[in-house]
Amino acid sequence: MYKPGHRMYSIVKMRCPRCHEGNIFHSNALFNPSAALKMHGSCSACGFNYQPEPGFYFGASYVSYAITTAIAIAVFVVLFPFFSWEEEWIYFTAIGGSIVLSFPVVFRLSRSIWMNFFFRYKSPEERALGEDADFPALRKR
Ligand SMILES: [Zn+2]
């Protein structure tokens, strides 16, 4: 669908935001949270540091909150035509269950999106120039 170089490729495939080659997480096996939620320290392909500063991923919790809210609203909208308000336990169970079950995906997706807010793809030629390539206007001075 998306090709390397497109921001969505990095987000959906959980790849390094810089080179779109190295994996961000140790494993794609979502049924094994201890491996699926574990991040590499840096990119195996380009060496890009996945921990640019302490607490960097604190902001990913806001992305996670937005995704979780969207899931809860989607579940509610799907259930609403079929169940009355008197059966609120169905809503609580379905929304709570969907949030718990989607946690590994939301966790990974929110971190991937958060990284892509701040770092963009660089071609191998741009990467060869070093980090100055992030600020071409400054480099010209
Ligand atoms: Zn990389």
The yes-or-no verdict on residue 89 having pLDDT over 90 is yes
What residues have CB less than 8 Å from 27, skipping those under 6 apart? 35, 36, 38
- Read off the pLDDT of each residue in 121-130 and give the average, rounded to a whole number: 84
| pLDDT at residue 75 tops 60 | yes
pLDDT at residue 93, rounded to an integer? 95
Predicted pLDDT at 98? 96
Tokens representing residue 110 in the block: 């929110």
41: Cβ contacts below 8 Å, ≥ 6 apart: 49, 50, 51
Measured in angstroms, how far is the CA atom of residue 127 from the centroid of ligand 1? 10
User: What is the pLDDT of the chain when averaged over all its residues?
Assistant: 88
Q: In this predicted model, which residue has the larger pLDDT, 106 or 5?
A: 106
> For the CA atoms of 12, 14, 16, 20, what is the dihedral angle to 10 degrees?
-50
Q: What is the pTM of this model?
A: 0.84
Which residues hold their Cβ within 5 A of ligand 1, which is an ion?
16, 18-19, 22, 43, 45-46, 48
